[in-house]
Amino acid sequence: MRTNRSFPFLVFFSIYFFLSCNKPVENVALENVTLYHGGDIITMAGDQPQYIDALVVKEGKIVFAGNLDEAKKTFPNPTLEVDLKGKTMLPGFIDAHGHIFNTGIQALAANLLPPPDGPGDNIQSILDILNEWKSKNQAVIDEINWIIGFGYDDSQLTEKLHPTAEDLDKVSKDIPVIIIHQSGHLASMNNKGLQLMRYADGIKNPPGGVIRRIEGTEIPNGVLEEMAFFIPIFKILGSLDSEANQKIALAGQEMYKSFGFTTGQEGRATNDASEILKSLAQKGQIEIDIAVYPDIQSQLEYIKEVGVSDTYQNHLRIAGAKISLDGSPQGKTAWLSKPYKIPPTGQNNDYRGYPAIQEDSVVFSLINASFENKWQILAHCNGDAAADQFIRAVENAASLYGNDDRRPVMIHSQTVTDPQLDKMKELGIIPSFFGLHTFYWGDWHVNEVLGKERGSRISPAGTALRKGMLFSQHHDSPVILPNSIMILHTVVNRTSRSGQIIGPEERISPYDALRSITTWAAFQYFEEASKGTLEVGKLADMVILDQNPLKVEPATIMDIKVLETIKEGKCVYLKSN
């Protein structure tokens, strides 16, 4: 895994240009034919693994999948013949939910992630990383006027506490500092940042957010939850010019490609982010398909203006809308039906988190708009109370506008109950599970957040499978790196950082894990006719791995490496030696 991405903003984008492939068909027209053979080529078609000897690509599509001798007879003089040399080829991975634009922000910010993805394991290390970043990134600070860090996680810090304004004042008292929690739902600011955002003594909490206070006072302590954080971060990012934002988006795309994704997502887009991506697409700089889902609460008029499309233009489409109904369980802001095992500091024992949108009527109205306009809706629901709100809203909209193949998606579905899964199946709601939590926060959920019984059931893919449900798995980058291999590893093994198995009955097979980021993810996007399997007529979206996930010991899946990413027959990423 990448362990340090806290390098200067401009240097990152210089590296971007050197990471592009030594393209095997450089300057050759797309009509030329490429023959792949000599490895494990898994089609992902069917309920059991199916292997073929050879795959032939022409004009960006698969034109042959089958026996090698037959392939050579049909295409006797391929422009390029690729011997996989025992490596494994699969359909390109499909991002069921992530934030490709925000992933690029990680390149701009100091890397505060805890091990194994970064060095942030205690508050002092956080301060040291920020001070080092400050000394090396003056150009970035001059451009945005803030010191920014990303990825700290109080659950993994030695102190099990959020850094406060007092802590961050040790980095600077003159320059505002903001550090973003790994969940993406909380942050902490120094006192200069609080002053600039007018978070003063006695200020009220914004709707859908919490400003944490120094105990016994109304003075903000620096820690901000949900909308209390989103409001200032939107202001900060809004100060960046178009060129800087485009570089951020390209950085996110580069990271996605390095993990084998040929389809990415911007899963809660603002109109600004959407327009930045559209601008890059028009310039031919988007190399993988990106599906954009603007936030329906804040961007409703924008969605109506630009419309939703089922086809990509230069690898980009506005694919539907996103609604967020609660926060994060690891940050203890998810909306639960039962109290947290241990409430956050300052909360009572009956604390259950809170909804992002208080009024059911508002949620129902927004879901109705998506159904009325035939927009696919993705809903962020971590807590079971939020899941219930979404289920009720979908049921209401379906009664008004019909429910013929709508494919609404419940993003995360972390704490959904058995009855809720039954109702989701009835309504056609696709769960997109965040199974990576079992490794990154499994211990935290069992010991602090949910307790053993509820914690062992997070992202219940095994239960969904037994109910005959189709589902996807996702990484939610930049919450976690867009690491396709870790998705496979965690949902197969469900082992935590400490090694305990988090709900063994919810583990799924390696093949079903692969289906959740290929075949089933393609179905989630309404793209099963063109993606998700290696079959004739489909796009030549492929990924090459150094080992076969179906043949290695499950405990070693995490060691598999992505060697090459191929989008419509074109190499867009090649791992350097």
Q: How far apart are CA 31 and CA 570, in angstroms?
A: 12
Q: Model pTM?
A: 0.87
Query: CB-based contacts of 138: which residues, under 8 Å, 6+ apart?
Result: none
Helix/strand/coil for 404: coil
Q: How far apart are CA 318 and CA 397, in angstroms?
A: 22
pLDDT score for 165: 97
Name the residue type at position 151. G
- Looking at residue 153, the DSSP 8-state letter turns out to be -
**Which pLDDT tens digits describe the chain residue by residue (577 residues)?**
333 433 333 333 333 333 334 333 333 334 689 999 999 999 999 999 999 999 999 999 999 999 999 999 999 999 999 999 999 999 999 999 999 998 988 777 899 999 888 899 999 999 999 999 999 999 888 878 899 999 899 989 999 999 999 999 999 999 999 999 988 889 999 999 999 999 999 999 999 899 999 999 999 999 999 899 989 988 887 777 888 889 889 999 999 999 999 999 999 999 999 999 999 999 999 999 999 999 999 999 999 999 999 999 999 999 999 999 999 999 899 999 999 999 998 899 999 999 999 999 999 999 999 999 999 999 999 999 999 999 999 999 999 999 999 999 999 999 999 999 999 999 999 999 999 999 999 999 999 999 999 999 999 999 999 999 999 999 999 988 999 999 999 999 999 999 999 999 999 999 999 999 999 999 999 999 999 999 999 999 999 999 999 999 999 999 999 999 999 999 999 999 7
187 neighbors 224 (Cβ within 8 angstroms)? yes
Domain boundaries, the chain: 114-238, 325-508
pLDDT score for 276: 95
**Element holding 433 (H helix, E strand):** strand 430-433
Superfamily classification of domain 325-508: Metal-dependent hydrolases (3.20.20.140)
Q: How far is CA 395 from CA 322, 403, 427, 560, 575, in A?
A: 17, 9, 7, 42, 46
- Domain 114-238 fold is Diaminopimelate Epimerase; Chain A, domain 1 (3.10.310)
pLDDT score for 5: 38
Calculated CA dihedral for residues 99, 101, 104, 106, nearest 10 degrees:
-50
- Looking at residue 420, the DSSP 8-state letter turns out to be H
Q: How far apart are CA 307 and CA 242, in angstroms?
A: 23
Beta strands in 273-344 (DSSP E): 289-294, 316-318, 320-324
